[in-house]
Structures are given as structure tokens and as C-alpha cells.
Structure 1
């Protein structure tokens, strides 16, 4: 928003410069992200095969831990299904772990219905929850191929919804078709959050009564920070949070409203989207939506692991 506000004189404003204050720790954290060390704990080996339930039919050969490990490795190292199987066979054979690795067919089939645990929890109560969405490509021709051969794109893509907290962790993740709008995905995202928070923040796409109702139904004390459009009008009662935003914008302006509400924290979710696409790419490996949802969840879980290894702390100079 400040960029749009200063667009007419942007050429006169110098680009901001920042300095990382924890470069030593952040540098070591970046090295640890590429650490190739893999080990199997005794708990993982013991839980590699599911416990027999006594139900009729053939029991499953591998537990959810085994399938989750395969999906995690596949996303981090950008491997197809067969290469994932071969990759996991190598350390298991070298370490004499005494376990068998799921084949590529089992990994694909088990990814259709996969139980997902809570991605992350806020470090302390009263956190800021920031939500946004971005597009991920499934398949289709790129711009060069379209221009070279004069063919249509025929692209198919998915919409990735992420919820970020102020410590850069992904709190909730949901993958939908492009027809599902941002406000429609909010209830499903809120169902994945089991920690209290004080502020729900989003861009103008989340402006509307359904989002306010869904957030306040989750936690009644939450302060919703969503910028209303320029032509927004107050309700008949005039006592809602949205009405307060409209009055503040009319009296003090948009930049002052941003500073008052802390709306600048929304760049955290933009940074998370950028990190997701740079690390895991902007395309999906799977072609079916159920497997794609598991793929997105594994990527978000891996992103939290990398975030835990270290993040830069910058100051403006």
C-alpha cells in the first residue's frame, strides 16, 4: 500500500537498505538446511509398520510415519515417486535399519487419504494470524512454447492458502481449486488452528461479513484487520469492527490506518509465499487434487522445519 501511495514520486525515493544482525546464526542455519544426514530413531523403526487392529482384510504394510517421511523427502529434494523410493532405500540399506521402504505405488495411493497433524503452534498466546493465497501451476505450456509453436496455454492451476504467524511459521495450509475464493477457505483454515490469537489479518480480498463471522465464531475477542474498499459504507448499527476501519480511513487516511492497526505485518505472508515458491517451486508434481493437498502439506511442514533452523533478523540502515 505505501508503494501505491508514493507511486507518483517513487523515482525520487531511495531504495531502503537493511542489515542482518544475526548473520552468524543465520548462515549456519542455511548450511543446516542442506544437511544430508538421515537417521532412523528407535521410535520411528518401531512405528514403521502399523499396529494390527484385528479388523477384517489385509492390514496396511506401512504406517503413516513411513508415508509422511517419503512425502517429506520427495518435496525437499524435488524427486519423482520412483526416485524417492530409490533415495530412501539407500540410507536404509547402508544403516541396516531393518525396515522396508514403501514402493512408489504405495506412496501415491496412500497420499490420497493422509491424516495431517497440526502444522505448527504459536510460541505464545496473543499471536498475529496472517492469511493469504497464491497460485500453483499443475501443468500447461510456458510462454516460450506458446510463442514458438503458436499453441494455447491450456493451463491448470491450484490455489494455495497459507496462514502465517509473526514467527514466520505456517500455522495452517489448504489447497483448493481456482473456483474457491479466499473468503470461502477461511473456515477450513481456522479449523486447523488450535492456539489462541488476538489479531486476524488479511488483504482486501477477505473483506466481508462471512470472514468476520467465521473469525469471531472461532474466538470472539479477535481483532480483524482487513482493509475495506474505498467505496465501503458503514452498516446500519455502525458499531462493528469494519465500521471502525471505515471511519478511521475516512478521518486519518490509509497510511495512518496501516500504522495504527499494524497492517504492515502482512508482508510476512508475502515473504512466506516467496520462500515457498523459491524452495519447492511454483508447480505441483501430482495431477489429482487429493495427492496435491498432501504435497502442499508436506511442503509447508518442511518449510516450518527450515524456519526453525534460523531466520534473519534485519534492521533498516
Structure 2
């Protein structure tokens, strides 16, 4: 781990001449602290002390934000583009998973006979074929998967060829959100087993229904390349194994900053290298 000369120079923001007290730390400093906190699974106070130790060992002439500044500044921290290391791919793969905010586990409930009282957040991820997180959104459990698609696509500023998701995203609202963002995109979403073709018969969903009826779902998956959807399942597994399945913050604005910092760290790890799995 190191601090580059450019990072040290940008650690404290330049004076703008605006009225009011100037900020002591730049957004880069807050972002770095949140990233280190997520990677090393530390509360805010411990993250502050850890960064002070790093700065002292590296003899870096920088001040470290205190835990209160990290919590407050994380709310309004601007979200930079997630993909920086490599060019994003041509496939957008979307899915969601749950992250626990607080609450006892099942073993504790059964042993002590206490109620669950769990609170969850839903993390929506958009992955490309290179295992990069290109968009994310954190919502309450009441937000459905199709509802978050438009917000995810709004974060993607590069063109894509294919949108892929599981059967929970089957429906006209999702397809319309994709076409509003990328009119020429190919929507690969398995229709429900009771799905029927449209009256006009000119939607992208109709050929999927006919192919599944004639050749079966496995043949349809091979034809459409639906196997790529396991990339988003792997991304969620990596997220939970590296950063945990529970959130540290208790309020939604800080939780959004927490998931964003985790995604930035995950992309940085992906840029450094991915394991190559070979069947033997």
C-alpha cells in the first residue's frame, strides 16, 4: 500500500474563495478512507487509527480525517464512475441480493427464543462480461428488481449490445427502460413458463418464447449465451466473501457510500487479476 505524490498533493482541497469555512479534506481523502475501511473490515474509529499508522510509517505529510468527518462527508461524496481500470464490455448483466443491516442470526433466535427483528437492504448490481461492476443501487427491500433497472442504466455512460437478467426482470417495463437507454440492445431475459407471444408478434420477447417451446430452455440458453449470467452471481458471492453480508452503517445514505466504496475496491481487485479456472 502506498500514497502517490499526486494523491498527497490532492489530499487537501484548494481554496476556492467561497464564503464559509473551507473543507479540510478533499473528496479523495474521504474516498480513500472509506475504501480502506471496507477492505479491512474496520469501524470508523479503527479506520482512522489505521490510516494514521500508515501515514506515520510511510512518512506522508498528510492529516487523516476523523471518524465523524468520514461519516458526515460520506453522505454527499460524489459517486465517480465505477469502471476506471479497463474499458467496459458490451454486455450488461443485472441481478440483486440482500445485505443485512442488523439482527440476530437463526442460531441465536432458536437458542434464546427471541424474535428476528432483522432489517435488510437490497443491493442491485450491473456487471459486464469482464466481471467489472459498472453500476449499483442500494434500496429498501420494498423496491422491486425491475424498478431499479432504470437507475442502474442511468449510471452507464458507454454503449452496450446485450442486456441480460433472470426471469424476475421479464416484463415490458424492463424492456422499455433498456430501449430508452440503448434502442438497439438485445434483451436476453427468460420469459415465464406461462408467457405468451404478443398480439403483434414483433417484440424481442416473442422469439424467446417460440424457441423455448420448440427446443427447450437449455437449448435457448446456449443459443442466447445466457450462461454469462453466472458472472453476476459470482460478483455477488465475491462481494459478500470479501466485504461481508452485513452492512456497517445504519442509515441509508451512509450505506450507499459503503456499497459504492466496496464496488470500487472490487473493481480494483478485478483489474489486478482474476483466477483462471480450467476444467480437468
Shift of 1:95: 2.6
Looking at structure 1, the residues matched to 32 and 89 of structure 2 have their Cα atoms a distance apart, in angstroms, of: 32
Q: CA, structure 1 residues 67+126, in 2 after alignment: closer, same or farther (shift >3 Å)?
A: closer
SS in 2 for 1:137: strand
- 1:245-260 pair list within 5 angstroms: 245-260=208-223
Question: Could you tell me how far apart the structure 2 residues matched to 1:302 and 1:222 are?
Answer: 29
What is the SS of the residue equivalent to 2:80? coil
8 Å contact 1:122–1:195 — kept in the other structure? Answer: no
Q: TM-score, normalised to structure 1's length? A: 0.86
2:89–2:129 CA contact under 8 A, matched in 1: no
Pairing partner for 1:293 from 256, 263, 267? 256
Please give the per-residue CA displacement for 1:249-274, whole angstroms capped at 9, x wherever unaligned: 11111111101100011111111111
Q: Match for residue 55 of structure 1?
A: 18
1:316 aligns to what SS in structure 2? coil
Q: Give unpaired runs (5+ residues) of structure 1.
A: 1-37
Query: Does structure 1 residue 67 correspond to structure 2 residue 30?
Result: yes
CA offset at residue 165 of structure 1? 0.9
Match of 1:84 in 2: 47
Identify if the C-alpha distance between structure 1 residues 87 and 121 changes in structure 2 by more than 3 Å, giving closer, same or farther: closer
**Structure 2 alignment gaps of length 5 or more:** none
8 Å Cα contact 1:121/1:171 also seen in 2:
no
SS in 1 for 2:157: coil
Q: Distance in 1 between matches of 2:188 and 2:118?
A: 34
How far the C-alpha of 1:245 sits from its partner, in A, is: 1.0
1:223 is aligned to 186
Q: Matches of 2:198 and 2:159 in 1, distance apart?
A: 28
Distance in 2, Cα, partners of 1:157 & 1:173? 16
Is contact 1:126-1:197 (8 Å) kept? yes
Q: Show the 5 A alignment for 1:1-317.
A: 38-120=1-83, 123=86, 127-317=90-280
Taking only aligned residues, the RMSD between alpha carbons, in angstroms, comes to 1.3
| Deviation string, structure 1 residues 259-307 (Cα, Å, up to 9, x no partner) | 1100011111111111111111100000000000000011111111111
Task: Please give the alpha-carbon distance, in whole angstroms, between the structure 1 residues aligned to 2:186 and 2:227.
Answer: 15
Cα gap change, 1:148/1:124 in structure 2, threshold over 3 Å: closer, same or farther? closer
Number of residues of Structure 1 aligned to a counterpart in Structure 2: 280
